[in-house]
Amino acid sequence: MNVTFWGTRGSLPCSGPDTQIYGGNTPCVSVSVGEELLILDAGSGIRRLGINLKGAYSTFHLLLSHLHMDHIQGMGFFLPLYDPKAEVHIYGPAGHSAPLIDRLSRYLSPPLFPIRIRELPCRLFVHEVPPRPFNIGSFRIVAQRVIHPGVTIGYRIQHGQSILAYLPDHEPMLGANGRMKDLRWLSGHDLAHQAGLLIHDAQFTDEEYPRFVGWGHSSLSQTLEFARLTEVRQLALFHHDPGRDDLQMEVLFQQTLAQQVLPFDARIPKEGEILVI
């Protein structure tokens, strides 16, 4: 399973000279095995993914974690949507009041966007993810809701023995008060448990987190603890604060890791980096 990072930033794109290493695009990750491709979220990173695909695929499966702007803002710039020969399947969380396609169309319609979602030239299919595991090609997908404002889901994607867990926006320690030793009470546990790679929210520093409790994001230390509790083999820190430049990210990462002995590999993936699991 090849996992490529097209956007790792949270909240807002922040391209500039001080974000050249880790990138400034908002969340988008592609997962490929042979001829099969999944796309996780449609942040601004999806634009470059669409360009790089260059007709390599005719069917696209885009899985959205939730509909906050940083996770869908690139959708209108994903080239396959404008290819009449392309078949695009969009998956996302069911809402409490309106169907997924109606909620997506709030963004993909005037005045926020010049083209309506129903006018896109591709063959478009919108699916609300079921509460039970489902298959996309040879991928086995589990989608479960996790702690984050609004309806937000995380994904567990399995292909053969390879398991990827994707929880880009997640605050599992909300209200936990450090008492979540019983893993049944840990949001996202079943998605991440013993994954070969966990991609997880690490937006805040430990000093910042107390000011943002309930915003739906984790501190770096909380994410390391979540990865330890769920026994993952590799952790990719994700959804970085747009105000953090490359140097600050590296210093923060090294300082935090210097205080711990981790039973897994942890890294900050760079935009464009490919991890194989």
Out of 32, 59, 144, 205, point to the residue binding another protein (CB under 8 A).
144
Report if residue 146 touches another protein, rule: CB under 8 A.
yes
**3-class secondary structure, 157:** strand
Report if residue 183 touches another protein, rule: CB under 8 A.
yes
Question: How many Å from the N-terminal Cα to the C-terminal Cα in the chain?
Answer: 5
Report if residue 177 touches another protein, rule: CB under 8 A.
yes
Report if residue 185 touches another protein, rule: CB under 8 A.
yes
Judged by CB under 8 A, the stretch of 23-31, 50-58, 69-77, 187-195 that binds another protein is 187-195
Rounded to 10 degrees, the C-alpha dihedral 96/102/104/108 comes to -160
Report if residue 125 touches another protein, rule: CB under 8 A.
no
**Alpha carbon distance 120, 125 (integer Å):** 11
Number of residues that bind another protein (CB under 8 A): 20
**Alpha carbon distance 269, 87 (integer Å):** 30
Judged by CB under 8 A, the stretch of 1-9, 84-92, 102-110, 168-176 that binds another protein is 168-176
Q: What is the enclosing helix (H) or strand (E) of 6? A: strand 2-7
Report if residue 175 touches another protein, rule: CB under 8 A.
yes
By DSSP bridging, strand 59-63 and strand 36-40 are parallel
Q: What is the enclosing helix (H) or strand (E) of 101? A: helix 100-105
Which residues, 148 to 167, sit near another protein by CB under 8 A?
151
Judged by CB under 8 A, the stretch of 56-64, 98-106, 183-191, 263-271 that binds another protein is 183-191
**3-class secondary structure, 118:** helix
Report if residue 145 touches another protein, rule: CB under 8 A.
yes
- Least distance to another protein, CB of residue 87, Å: 27
Indicate if the alpha-carbon torsion angle 200, 201, 205, 208 is positive or negative: negative
User: Rule CB under 8 A: which residues touch another protein?
Assistant: 94, 96, 131, 144-147, 151, 174-177, 183-190
